[in-house]
Amino acid sequence: MKKLYNTVDRKLLREKYLNNDEKRITISFYKYHQIKNPAFFRDYLFIHWTDLHVLGRTYVSSEGINAQISIPEANKEAFIKDLYSVTFLDGVRINYAVDSGNKSFFQLKIKLRKKIVADGIEDPTFNPANTGKHLDALEFNQLTSDPETILIDMRNHYESEVGHFIGAIRPDADTFRDEIAVVEKMLKGQEDKNIVMYCTGGIRCEKASAYLKHKGYDHVHQLEGGIIKYARDVKEQGLENRFKGVNFVFDERLAERVSDDVIACCHQCGEPFDLHTNCANTGCHILFIQCDSCKEKFENCCSTECQEIIHLPEETQRELRKGKSSKANTFHKGRSEKLPFKRPS
């Protein structure tokens, strides 16, 4: 019987795919849909996608699916045919990464979740299907050029720090759950205004725009396909690119460059820089921005304390890590007092 989970050490898989010349495509898609048996559907996907050599991270819940994956270029047509054979996914929009390649994912993980996007919304009368109006790149540029339009970035603070649209309001929120509450409070009394929302690939705005409509806002819009699709469309259509910086992505790459503008700085020295990394100390692993000079100086660590730890014997490091989980810090939402140019707690 085929095992329905990955059994190979991640480090070995990473080394394998870094040294592999196979051409791969990084894609993402999502669909809100009532799935009666998420566990069965999850196993179905794992079997089919393993056969197609799919890598990446996917969440399945009773409310739908959210996938960020990479596929061999040679298997693209077979994958799409297989995906569209699922009735509720037939014709689902697929976002293709601007900067793809072989280094986005190194293993396949398909996990069951209560929700595909944690939102904190418990109102039983809320209908997530009643979303705002979808805008393509041209429509987005036109509407957001109006100074009366309210443009809101529905991503976390570390995402908008390295890249965002001109004129966007960027709530200082650690999670999507927090941001919905902040945005609702911020928009109170502006129900008659045109509101435009955007996020990485569109999934968070599906929820957020529907929630605002649920709360009585009639002129709610969202960027179709998020920043990922916008970046491709403005390039292919020769439109003005109103996004500055890099688009933060949740895979090994951590960013796709959308414009040459560098709008962030190294969290250790303050020099202009906009690429994130994770602290080399496995017991810390916090996400932060580190320039090449500081990377060399601190050996890819966020502080001298962590730098000292990585030179300790592995057994000692394991003792220090006992009871701690570094996985939660891969995209750590918190702040750090160790980093002088990172927003403090």
> Which position has the token pair 């040459």?
260
CB 146 within 8 A of CB 194: yes
Say whether 199 is catalytic. yes
Cα 43 from chain centre? 24
C-alpha neighbours within 13 Å on the C-beta side of residue 157:
16
- The whole-angstrom separation of Cα 132 and Cα 233 is 20
CB 118 within 8 A of CB 176: yes
In sequence order, the 6+-apart residues with CB closer than 8 A to the CB of 298 are 268, 290, 304, 306, 307
Sign, Cα dihedral of 96, 102, 103, 105: positive
Which residue is catalytic, options 199, 266, 302, 306? 199
Task: Provide the residue type at 182 as one letter.
Answer: V
Question: Tokens 């566990």 label which residue?
Answer: 39
Cα–Cα nearest to 333, from 158, 110, 191: 158
Residues annotated as catalytic (active site), given as ranges: 199
